[in-house]
Amino acid sequence: MQGLLLNFGMGLLGLLTFVIFTSFDKIKDKNYGLNDHFNENYKRWAWALSMLILIVLTIHIEPAIAETINSVIGLDLITKAGSYWLTGVVLAKFVKNTVDKVE
């Protein structure tokens, strides 16, 4: 259970890192607050968090999937919790790019 929470926490930190890094212009705007950010992005956050939960649970239930991911793209989700940080960043980037294409 501890590993499960650590992996989710690292993924969440990855999501936050990407959002804060890419939201610099809005963060420094004095007229833009957390409430504005939430109202504009709650669907993105819900999707990214849902995907992160599914990835963490799937790999916790069936570690062989992580071995396949490691052999295909070189992301070690078994022994390196930091790989979940990168997973969070990639999920946040993916959903941002998808929404930007639609808007």
Going by pLDDT thresholds of 50, 70 and 90, the confidence category of residue 33 is confident
Whether 2 shows a pLDDT value over 80: the answer reads: no
Whether 102 shows a pLDDT value over 60: the answer reads: no
Whether 36 shows a pLDDT value over 70: the answer reads: yes
Domain residue ranges of the chain, discontinuous segments joined by +: 2-102
Q: Is the pTM of this model over 0.85?
A: no
Long-range contact pairs involving 45-50 (C-beta distance under 8 Å, separation at least 24): 45/15, 47/95, 48/15, 48/88, 48/91, 48/92, 48/95, 49/12, 49/15
